[in-house]
Amino acid sequence: MRIAVCVKQVPEGAAKRIDPATRRLDRAGEGALNAYDANAVEEALRLKESAGEGEVVLLTMGPARAADAIRKALAMGADRAILVTDDAAAGSDLLATSIALARALEREQPDLVLFGQQAADSDGAVLWGAVADRLRRPLISQVAELTLADGVVTGKRQSEFGYDVIRAPLPAVVAVSDSINEPRYPSLKGIMGAKKKPQETLTLADLGVESDRAGEAGSRTEVLALSEPPSRGESRRIDGDGAAPEAIIAFLAEKRLV
């Protein structure tokens, strides 16, 4: 069985900044494996271990340095990785990204495609649905428990009325929730071995994706403007420059609150 896991490099840390010039998320800083995708990688590894055979393939789209982020997933135990990187793909929205990923998945023909529930940088929770639609495969989302048997995938997810149990024939697409497991920590042996695992790099041309279907030209969403949040009346901004505690105390004393 071949399991493909779609993963993403996201900016490390909680802070997110929009570049006012490009109106895109600033990705100039350090990147890391999307935490929600680590759950999908872990579930793929558990399915492979339970079956006693199989292959776990990582797939990501991004700049060349995105390979550094997916190396953690290789260290966890994935067998190989595919990076789709192309300058023409810069600025792709979720729909444009789904075209490239779907083409790469068609090339691999996996039995099962796993996604994390969302990406920490955009929180879109849409990509897995778009990819499943382009592949014309059944989709189960927000899965908290996953089993495979006799060519059928069964996903259990919590709803406001209890639990849904959904079955779909393979090949299928599944988006797992972060409650499905606890991702393993890469071992030292896994970290060292990750450097030797196959990592393939593909361009949009390799996948047969036309230039007008990627990047800003192929996107169906557009950021028109950026602006500061509206004022909420009298307020004072205090930056965390080391003197913030004293400034807060002074402000409270001024208002006779301390």
Residues 148-172 pLDDT 10s = 999 999 999 988 888 999 999 999 9
pLDDT at 44: 97
Question: Which has the minimum average pLDDT: 23-27, 93-97, 102-106, 223-227?
Answer: 23-27
Cβ-in-10-Å burial (0-12, 13-18, 19+) of 206 comes to: middle
Residues 6 or more apart in contact with residue 46 via CB below 8 angstroms: 181
Strands (E), the chain: 2-6, 9-11, 18-19, 24-25, 31-33, 55-61, 80-84, 112-116, 139-143, 145-149, 152-159, 162-169, 172-176, 199-202
pLDDT at 240: 67
Distance, in Å, from the CA atom of 234 to the CA atom of 217, rounded to the nearest integer, reads 43
Q: How many CA atoms lie within 13 A of 240 on its CB side?
A: 0
Q: What are the sequence ranges of the domains in the chain?
A: 2-218
Out of 3.30.450.20, 3.40.50.300, 3.40.50.620, 2.60.40.1260, select the CATH number for domain 2-218. Answer: 3.40.50.620
CA torsion, ordered 186, 188, 193, 194, to nearest 10 deg: 40
Q: Categorise residue 14: left if φ over 0, alpha if ψ from -120 to 50, beta otherwise.
A: alpha
Distance, in Å, from the CA atom of 129 to the CA atom of 63, rounded to the nearest integer, reads 23
Distance, in Å, from the CA atom of 222 to the CA atom of 93, rounded to the nearest integer, reads 8
Rounded percentage of the chain residues whose pLDDT exceeds 90: 61
- Cβ atoms of 181 and 43 closer than 8 Å: yes
Write out pLDDT tens, residues 204-237.
Answer: 999 999 988 998 888 888 888 888 777 776 777 7
